[in-house]
Amino acid sequence: MKALALGLLLTAGLSAQHLGYGLLGGVPFDDVLSGSSIGTIAESAKYAIGPMGELRLPIVSVEADALYHGDSYALQSNGVSTTGSGSTWQFPIVGKVKIPATPIVKPYAEAGVAFRTFNRSSFQIDSNSKKGFVLGAGIDIHAILLHITPELRYTRWGSQIGPLPSQPEPI
């Protein structure tokens, strides 16, 4: 009985907060394997999708996401062609500052950190490429119970990644 009373008391405190959750999706503007000195890289199937949660306070918010990125590439170097694929889970945590404009539309800026893990990867990975920082801006459109938030987000990782060589170069 005491546990039930304690649970109801804690739940009542949480209900005063503005918690949001939903689905986040998008496409990158740049290449995952940019800046490769190995050769020409063509990528396909670039997307990001995953759940998000947000604690909304009057002026600031904190958002945490779990985004799945799937990628494939074709590398052309010295007449040798290599293909591969991989995926990452990215976990950005950002703080948002909202600019009160109208009750329905609120522009915001965001900044934070991001972490990622690599799955089924054909990439060279070092520990610096697993953490980065995030900057972004967007608008929060509040329509009845739904928040629609188009945004542009920039993530800078600690170092670049590149494809693993699949075969030695011809002599």
CATH number at residue 26: 2.40.160
Contact in structure between 116 and 86 (CB atoms under 8 Å):
no
pLDDT, tens digit, for every residue of 21-44? 999 998 877 654 444 444 445 555
Please report which helix (H) or strand (E) contains residue 147, including its range: strand 146-148
Domain interval for residue 121: 19-163
| Residue 53 lies inside a defined structural domain of this protein | yes
* Residue-averaged pLDDT of the chain: 76
- For 26, 111, 133, 140, 159, the CA distances from 107, given in Å and listed in that order, are 19, 14, 21, 6, 31
- Residue 5 DSSP SS3: helix
Q: How far apart are CA 88 and CA 67, in angstroms?
A: 8
| Residue 3 lies inside a defined structural domain of this protein | no
pLDDT, tens digit, for every residue of 110-132? 999 999 887 765 555 555 578 89
- Give the pair of three-digit tokens for residue 11: 């739940």
- Least confident residue range of 20-24, 83-87, 102-106, 128-132: 83-87
Counting the structural domains of the chain, the total is 1
pTM: 0.70
| Residue 11 lies inside a defined structural domain of this protein | no
| Residue 131 lies inside a defined structural domain of this protein | yes
